[in-house]
Chains A and B, each alone.
Chain A
Amino acid sequence: MCWGGFRVPGIDECLLHAMRLPGVRGAALVDWTSGLALGTVGDAAGDDHETAAAETAELARMVAEHPTFAPLGTAGGPETDHGKNPPVEDLVVTTRTCYHVLRFVETSFDSSVLLHLWLDRTDGNLALARLRMRDLTERLVLE
């Protein structure tokens, strides 16, 4: 966001910070209910960012909504929460050449948003990426 020449940290800043991690090919902020890409940067995994967002959303929804991964009545997912903040923090998909890390974003209002990072497996650092994504998603809604 840019108002009168003054930049306010928002989606683009979050994604550009994510792109500074080693081995990152692309990043996107995705609404996992609708499958909409709210913002994208870098290359898209697969055909294009829109398709990638829709497919990422589908995967995230399966994890966020199935009791095996997101049990009810546990810490971080009380029944009264109505799934506002999914108990799942992130999920990692490992392919032969890449990592995909999907981190759920907790917002103070009702939303279903995640940060998707696509990393090269040789150059990327999965542990660092997960830590940094936690930090970035927290800052996205606080700053």
Chain B
Amino acid sequence: MLLRLASERATGALLRDRGTLYLVEGQVVHAESPVAPGIDVMLSATGRLRPDGWTQAIREAGADGAVGRYLVDSGLVSGGELEICHLGALFDAAFFALAPSSGPTRFRYGAAHWIGPVRPVAAEAVERETLRRRALLDRLWAHPETDTAPVVPSPRSARPRTAAPRQRAVLDLADGVRTPADIARALGRPAFHTLIDVRRLAAAGLVETPRPAAAAAPTPPSDVARLMAMSADPDVALLRRLRDALEATL
């Protein structure tokens, strides 16, 4: 549907159940998803933009659909920063909005977003990048449950020595309550980047999804088969998991 809208140079909003893509003359100009932190969250989380600066920008330029331009013209962010942050938010939200789903897809012709023009992207590039990102996640750790479930640090992990600084920030917030999307919002980072960090941490055996309380009826053979199929080059973390799965059968 996105590529068809691009070919007819459509302008409006493509609404899906996990997000919205905004098009101007067939190019993607913005995207939003409930899962992905918005550009306002990313610019505010580290204090780059104070909340009142953001409120003022919306008030002054929101109705004209030129908030991006206002932020730069008033010196609140530089042109380069706005483009970097906006592209990050666009591809991040598009990844979730374009995820396979059985929900309805609608297009509202003429709808525009208040951020206004920043740096439009070809629809083909957005679609291609979304597929590449999905493949990248599966290559890192082929267990999508870590994308949506809260994670906790693995009790056996020696975290200070093994987690890189950016991943440690994620690890510090992994409390078994926050989902990766919550962690992304707290850090002001794209949600996809947090999915990558969480899958890398899971692959390294540093985090795990909390075992459900009803884990009394495990199905180890399929777990074992899945673990075996996962990698032709088993590492220590994998062997530990394998051992745990086998012990659970005894």
What residues make up the interface of A, taking CB atoms closer than 8 Å to B? 1, 3, 8-11, 14, 29, 31, 33-36, 38-39, 50, 54, 64-67, 70, 72, 77, 79, 81-84, 86, 105, 107-113, 139-143
Contacts and interface: CB of A to CB of B under 8 A. Distances in A.
- Interface size bucket, B side? 35 or more
Interface of B: 42-43, 45-46, 48, 66, 69, 72, 78-85, 87-88, 91, 117-119, 128-129, 132-133, 136, 161, 164-169, 187-190, 192-193, 196-197
B79 A36 contact: no
Given A1-B72, A111-B85, 18 more contacts: A1-B79, A1-B82, A3-B69, A11-B119, A31-B88, A33-B190, A33-B196, A38-B83, A70-B165, A77-B165, A83-B169, A107-B85, A108-B81, A109-B81, A109-B188, A110-B46, A111-B84, A140-B84
Contact of A109 (B42, B79, B91, B196): B42
The 5 A-B pairs of least Cβ separation, nearest first, read: A83-B165, A65-B164, A82-B169, A140-B80, A83-B166
Contacts, number: 118
A36 B91 contact: yes
Given A81-B165, A82-B169, A141-B78, A109 B69 contact: no
Nearest to B91: A36
B250 to A, nearest CB: 38
Contact of B192 (A9, A34, A50, A79): A34
A14 B128 CA distance: 25
A66 B161 CA distance: 10
A139 B80 CA distance: 8
29 contacts: A1-B82, A1-B117, A1-B118, A3-B66, A9-B78, A9-B79, A10-B119, A11-B80, A34-B136, A34-B190, A34-B196, A50-B128, A64-B164, A66-B164, A79-B165, A82-B165, A82-B187, A83-B169, A86-B165, A107-B85, A109-B43, A109-B48, A109-B81, A110-B42, A111-B84, A112-B193, A140-B80, A140-B81, A143-B78
